[in-house]
Amino acid sequence: MPTSLQNDIGDRLSQALQHVSISEDAIEQLRYPKASLTVSIPVRMDDGSLRMFQGYRVRYDDTRGPTKGGVRYHPRVTLEEVQSLAFWMTFKCAVMDLPFGGAKGGIALDPKELSKLELERLSRGYIDAIADFIGPDVDILAPDMYTNATIMGWMMDRYSTIRRQHAPAVVTGKPLTLGGSQRRDTATAMGAYLAIATIMGKFSQKPNQTTVAIQGFGNAGAVLATELAQAGYKVVAVSDSQGGIYAKQGLNIPSLRQYKEANRSMKAVYCQGSVCNVVEHEVISNEELLQLDVDILIPAALGNQITGENAHKIRAKWIFEVANGPITPHGDRILASRGVQVVPDILVNAGGVTVSYFEWLQNRSGLYWRGEEVSQRLQERMVHETECVWSLAQEKDIDCRTAAYVRGLQRLGEAIVAKGTRDYYLS
């Protein structure tokens, strides 16, 4: 396993282990992924040429159940990154008390360079390569960065063809007509909103007095911005991969989303019908957005955005991690020393895997829920687990990230101990 991954995992675990007592066997088991697979995927391109793509799938730990995790398409996907994400998924599922372990997958490519037909061949080829490594009772896939419901549908269909049986539960995040769940497309954002509202509701500061900056305006960031704005929060800055915009008076999020969908770019606008007028705003970089003087900063794009190099420039009072791993351990320590409260990704963005669990349950039972029921179940679980993490942080006088890992470690440790440890066999 790569040294940097060992260091990262060791740092997260060592902080939590100071506040929880679990078996040495459990600690040793959680330091290493259970299984890692690297595959080469041949794809016939539209011009007739053959191109090879590198793909990965990692099952980190399955003590609490079959592993669960997304598949991402991105040029910078590596085995090390996938292992790190699978580790975080293990703890995310434990924090949310889901009967899953953690997994992750990915293919190294720029999906914008491929046609839709090439993407379909690639997605089906990935399943051809990993079919023996996954399954509804072994490892369940889901959408992640630059993958979507359509791609998940292709993957489910290919797996079903290989197994000669209908197997919708092997993949979540599918189209509704192929067994997907209501509200899965907005689950990550809604879960994040519930976590933010639960924690911020404990303080006297009102939503209309609270400024927010969101780095990342994809599906999760845009929906979350909408929910926060509707709740009265003042969203003053957002950004995508090209850069961001800042308006001190606050942004009109519905108009901004309408303009971006129509023009593939972002400007602070106010729309009436199809007519959008530009309003006063500043164009800023993603780095400048991170350094804005706001109450809440929400990294909802790529990982490793706040590091030891820029953490001392962060002026937000609260950071809610919607992206996976947006803050490095070094950045974490600097933020903690400056009193910045960080609520971690393994709690904040867990709405996606929670509704994926609901989808898996529905696929297994054949009984499908209305959207209102999905939302109610998500709210109950997100609010309950956020309250538990917050209470644990207050009880032990530790930060929220450490508290979330402590809660995950307690559940993972109990499951590992239940299978037998050194203390049991030597007693």
Q: Which residues are CB-contacts of 416 (< 8 A; sequence separation ≥ 6)?
A: 22, 23, 25, 26, 29, 63
- On whether the CB atoms of residues 140 and 68 are closer than 8 A, the answer is yes
Whole-angstrom Cα distance, residue 256 to residue 244?
A: 12
Instruction: Tell me the helices (H) and strands (E) count for the chain, helix number first.
Output: 15, 14
Q: Other C-beta atoms within 10 Å of 300: how many?
A: 29
Whole-angstrom Cα distance, residue 50 to residue 176?
A: 33
Whole-angstrom CA distances from 322 to 53, 215, 410 are 28, 9, 23
Q: What is the helix (H) or strand (E) element at residue 382, kind and residue range?
A: helix 371-396
Query: Within the chain, what is the greatest distance between any pair of CA atoms?
Result: 75
**Paired sense of beta strands 243-246 and 282-284, if any:** antiparallel
- Of 68, 92, 104, 174, which residue is the catalytic one? 104
* Short-list 137, 136, 71, 64, CA closest to 103: 71
* Short-list 185, 92, 199, CA closest to 147: 185
The first and second tokens of residue 109, run together, are 């490519």
Q: Is 260 a catalytic residue?
A: no
49 SS3 class: coil
DSSP string computed for 117-144: HHHHHHHHHHHHHHGGG-BTTTEEEEE-
**Paired sense of beta strands 50-61 and 101-108, if any:** antiparallel
| Catalytic (active-site) positions | 104
